[in-house]
Structure 1
Amino acid sequence: MKNCEIYSNIHIIICFKLEPPGFIKKLENITTLSGNSIVFQSLLRGSKPMYVTWMKDKDDIQEDGNITLSFENNIATLQINAVEENHAGKYMCQVKNDAGTEKCFATLSVAEPAKITEQAQSLSVTAGNAANLECTVTGTPELKVKCFKDGNEMVPSRKHKISFENNMVSLKIPSVSNDDSAEYTFEVKNQFGTSSCKASLTVLG
């Protein structure tokens, strides 16, 4: 596209070729924890004036006490000072000038550290009976769980059945004996954090 200016008194026509907007550096996906600060940033090119707008999940983004928008030196920036769960979503940066419009997208994911939400409860069980210690966990996948007996990591066996399904970690002993009396520790971990709880099993008789 060309923008032309005519100077009639000297019969000169000067044409300026307009450069459509474009992204030299596009937005990048971000994964962070609640409470952290994040910055979406892109480097633009194109003829001025250029106008930048931001959207999240098709809703316009406006500045407030927690969100700051800026466009300086061809750098478009969106900063969230303290991320909350409702900030998660798909973000769009749109740049427009007289020669056209261009967009780019990125996703903000708000991660949850591994956490035990319901702790295992200590038990007293008569020898020969079954015992079941379990706890409930939450957190962004991938969650890894471990069980410890008196500080030593356990492995699943015919005597000790360890499972992790539907956010529940379970240690089942079909028939307890005196040597099962111990302090048991459940640990859940992901790349954002670790959580653990302890419970005692006392075998009676």
Structure 2
Amino acid sequence: MHGTPSPLTTTTVTLTDQGQDPDLCNPTAIREEIRLPGTSRSMGSTLAGQGPPHFSKLLSSPTVMEGSPVTLEVEVTGFPEPTLTWFKNGEKLTNDEHIELSQKEGKHALFIQKVTETDAGLYVCRAVNSSGTLSSSAALQVNASNNRCPDPNCPLLKLNWHTCFGTLCFLLYLLYLLLL
């Protein structure tokens, strides 16, 4: 019975004695590398427990209208898995009734259902593991809503050319009646 070859191949590089073959390089360390077949990607550093945080998707700086939702997202890798902390203008953020922080498979998000002007500022996502620390930042800009009404259900008068023309005709008719 023949076994099937493993999908991973192992290469061991060892020190050579000086003077053996002048065309060969003389490595200064012993290292073991594991490569996936068909790729040049090495997994040696990950298996050795090394892997500082790396953002595969950085924060972007959105501009949103007041009252609309916004999501700030990052994707981070590293070994051991990095711990993420969110900050707004230097203050640490936590889950509350206004801000929702979530994480799933290296994807981290900060979600605000209804943005207010006070949400504008500099947001920083800091990833930390035993191999290092890395941050990504974004400036959230909030455009104020011009249609302010104390009651969110109040009807707003929308002006268009029909409304203006009708109002003008009505006022001219009243002026006509007044002058008769």
TM over 0.5: yes
The alignment status of 1:90 with 2:90, answered yes or no, reads no
Residue type of the partner of 2:96? D
CA distance in 2, matches of 1:71, 1:52: 9
Residues 26, 80 of structure 1: alpha-carbon distance in 2 compared, 3 angstrom cutoff: same
Question: Structure 2 length normalisation: TM-score?
Answer: 0.55
Structure 1, unmatched stretches of 5+, are: 1-14, 117-149, 152-181, 184-199
The alignment status of 1:59 with 2:91, answered yes or no, reads yes
Residue type of the partner of 2:54? G
What CA deviation, in whole Å up to 9, does each residue of 1:17-41 have, x standing for no partner? 4111011110111111222111100
What CA deviation, in whole Å up to 9, does each residue of 1:109-147 have, x standing for no partner? 11124569xxxxxxxxxxxxxxxxxxxxxxxxxxxxxxx
CA distance in 2, matches of 1:74, 1:102: 14
CA distance in 2, matches of 1:108, 1:16: 39
How does 1:75-154 map onto structure 2 within 5 Å? 75-114=107-146
Q: Which residue matches 1:23?
A: 55
Deviation at 1:16, TM superposition (A): 1.3
Question: Structure 1 length normalisation: TM-score?
Answer: 0.49
Residue type of the partner of 2:133? T
Q: Which has the higher strand share?
A: 1
Larger Rg: 2
Q: Which residue matches 2:9?
A: none
Alignment identity in percent? 27
CA distance in 2, matches of 1:64, 1:113: 24
The answer as to whether partners of 1:52 and 1:71 remain within 8 angstroms in 2 is no
Structure 2, unmatched stretches of 5+, are: 1-46, 149-163, 176-180
Deviation at 1:76, TM superposition (A): 1.1
Deviation at 1:48, TM superposition (A): 2.1
Q: Which residue matches 2:3?
A: none
The answer as to whether partners of 2:117 and 2:144 remain within 8 angstroms in 1 is no
What CA deviation, in whole Å up to 9, does each residue of 1:127-173 have, x standing for no partner? xxxxxxxxxxxxxxxxxxxxxxx76xxxxxxxxxxxxxxxxxxxxxx
Aligned length in residues? 120
CA distance in 2, matches of 1:52, 1:94: 5
Where 2:118 maps in the other structure, the secondary structure is helix
Q: Which has the higher helix share?
A: 2
Residues 71, 115 of structure 1: alpha-carbon distance in 2 compared, 3 angstrom cutoff: closer
CA distance in 1, matches of 2:69, 2:128: 27
Q: Which residue matches 2:64?
A: 32
The answer as to whether partners of 1:33 and 1:112 remain within 8 angstroms in 2 is yes
CA distance in 2, matches of 1:77, 1:48: 20
The alignment status of 1:46 with 2:82, answered yes or no, reads no
Residue type of the partner of 1:92? V
CA distance in 1, matches of 2:67, 2:145: 12
Where 1:65 maps in the other structure, the secondary structure is coil
